[in-house]
């Protein structure tokens, strides 16, 4: 997402194509011949383990919601990331997350609610049974994955804090701590990373508060210990490592929309017929596959969510 940023140094961002090519070479067993030519490149794919690792969490039930597709391997999900708090390269989060501590952690709920509170992670995790949901995960950069997230509907938390009648939007904020998140020393975006949802989007049963991945505690690079996942929106709408949810009356100003209002809108709904100003959104590359596939309206969740936007100008859906 940062490639357009004029003050990023040459080479600060590894072109996505190089990562993908390297991944494909490895997958095809061509690493021997081609590995030498690529040896100078940082390699996210080699940094993580092959199998899910970390503390196991209890899973109350499993729901498959990606059209029967197999989840993207753990290794790819945990080494090919966007988490600018740790750098702008896809490999940076997995490699640089060592400075980050996701425990102890608490989440502040503030603003237009009758029951504002500071929830410790241990209590938050017990608010509702943890469900595994296999969702499609589509980044605005036109790559995608299939991810078995673990968490519960955000609506469970919203109901508990009793929003007032003035609460129309939710604002999410990521931790602000440049000592732990070295990427925050660079003003790539305005920190802390801020995102938002309309109340009805937040209450939709697909919207999740996520605390795990592949049945394990969420790894740092994927947004430990708690993040938001909204499967019909581009990935940037789902902030990682959140410390605050604020209920407000006015539509909030969000990080990407503030930085590049012509490129990133408030809604960020996956829409194959509405191109990003600098690239098409009609197709996507599923990580691990060669050929690009068609992008689905609302990322394949139109039946569940299209009604939320009835009457809204489709160009505003972005
Ligand atoms: N949250 C924070 N705090 N910082 C980020 O840079 N990147 C977003 C989103 N949440 C980001 C973030 C983007 S652009 C995407 S595509 C997803 O996280 C990537 O999630 P993943 O790395 O788990 O696939």
Structure confidence by residue, pLDDT tens digits, 93-143 = 999 999 999 999 999 999 999 999 999 999 999 999 999 999 999 999 999
**Is the CB–ligand 1 distance for residue 85 below 6 Å?**
yes
Mean pLDDT of 257-280: 93
Would the pLDDT of 24 be above 70?
Answer: no
Q: What helix, strand, coil percent values describe the chain, rounded to 5?
A: 30, 25, 50
Q: How far is CA 226 from CA 42, 151, 242, 254, 272, in A?
A: 28, 9, 6, 19, 29
DSSP string for residues in 15-35: -HHHHHHHHHHHHTT-HHHHH
**Is the CB–ligand 1 distance for residue 220 below 6 Å?**
no
Label residue 147 by pLDDT band (50, 70, 90): very high
Would the pLDDT of 5 be above 70?
Answer: no
Which atom, in ligand 1's list, is nearest to the CA of 137? 24
Label residue 162 by pLDDT band (50, 70, 90): very high
What is the pTM (predicted TM-score) of this model?
0.86
**Is the CB–ligand 1 distance for residue 193 below 6 Å?**
yes
Q: What is the pLDDT of residue 234?
A: 97
Q: What percent of the chain has pLDDT over 90?
A: 81
Measured between alpha carbons, how far is 18 from 27 in angstroms, rounded to an integer? 14
Instruction: Please give the residue that has the higher pLDDT: either 249 or 12.
Output: 249
Q: What is the pLDDT of residue 316?
A: 66
Q: Is the separation of the CB atoms in 84 and 183 below 8 Å?
A: yes
Measured between alpha carbons, how far is 218 from 56 in angstroms, rounded to an integer? 10
Measured between alpha carbons, how far is 158 from 228 in angstroms, rounded to an integer? 13
Would the pLDDT of 20 be above 50?
Answer: no
Would the pLDDT of 30 be above 60?
Answer: no
Distance from Cα 127 to the centre of ligand 1, integer Å: 24
Largest CA distance in the chain: 64
The residue contributing the CA closest to ligand 1 atom 5 is: 83
Mean pLDDT of 226-249: 98
Please state, rounded to an integer, the average pLDDT across all residues of the chain.
87
Mean pLDDT of 59-64: 97
Asked which of 3-7, 132-136, 225-229 is least confident by mean pLDDT, the reply is 3-7
Q: What is the pLDDT of residue 57?
A: 97
Which atom, in ligand 1's list, is nearest to the CA of 84? 6
Q: Which fold has domain 10-309?
A: Sulfite Oxidase; Chain A, domain 2 (3.90.420)
Residues 184-217 pLDDT 10s: 999 999 999 999 999 999 999 999 999 999 999 9
Which atom, in ligand 1's list, is nearest to the CA of 174? 3
Distance from Cα 83 to the centre of ligand 1, integer Å: 5
**Is the CB–ligand 1 distance for residue 222 below 6 Å?**
yes
Q: What is the token pair recorded at 109?
A: 């709920």
The residue contributing the CA closest to ligand 1 atom 17 is: 235
Would the pLDDT of 314 be above 80?
Answer: no
Distance from Cα 114 to the centre of ligand 1, integer Å: 30
Q: Give domain limits for the chain.
A: 10-309
Q: What is the pLDDT of residue 16?
A: 37
């Amino acid at each position: 997402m940062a490639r357009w940023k004029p003050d990023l140094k040459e080479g600060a961002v590894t072109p996505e194509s190089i990562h993908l090519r390297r991944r494909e070479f490895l997958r095809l067993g061509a690493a021997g011949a081609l590995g030498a030519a690529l040896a100078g490149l940082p390699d996210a794919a080699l940094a993580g383990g092959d199998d899910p690792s970390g503390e196991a969490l209890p899973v109350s039930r499993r729901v498959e919601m990606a059209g029967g597709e197999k989840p993207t391997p753990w290794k790819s999900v945990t080494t090919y990331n966007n988490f600018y708090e740790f750098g702008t390269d896809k490999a940076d989060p997995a490699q640089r997350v060592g400075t980050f501590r996701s425990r102890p952690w608490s989440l502040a709920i503030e603003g237009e609610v009758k029951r504002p509170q500071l929830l410790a992670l241990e209590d938050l995790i017990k608010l509702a049974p943890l469900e595994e949901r296999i969702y499609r995960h589509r980044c605005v950069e036109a790559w995608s994955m299939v991810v078995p997230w673990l968490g519960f509907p955000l609506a469970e938390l919203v109901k508990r804090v009793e929003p007032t009648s003035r609460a129309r939007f939710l604002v999410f904020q990521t931790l602000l701590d440049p000592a732990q998140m070295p990427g925050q020393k660079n003003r790539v975006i305005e920190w802390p990373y801020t995102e938002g949802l309309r109340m009805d989007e937040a209450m939709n049963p697909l919207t999740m508060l996520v605390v795990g991945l592949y049945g394990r505690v969420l790894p740092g690079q994927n947004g430990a210990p708690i993040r938001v996942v909204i499967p019909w929106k581009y990935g940037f709408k789902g902030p990682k490592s959140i410390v605050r949810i604020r209920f407000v009356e006015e539509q909030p100003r969000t990080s990407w929309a503030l930085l590049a209002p012509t490129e990133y809108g408030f809604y960020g709904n996956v829409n194959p017929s509405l191109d990003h100003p600098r690239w098409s959104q009609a197709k996507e590359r599923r990580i691990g596959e060669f050929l690009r596939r068609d992008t689905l309206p609302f990322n394949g969740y139109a039946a569940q969510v299209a009604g939320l936007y009835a009457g809204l100008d489709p160009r505003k859906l972005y």
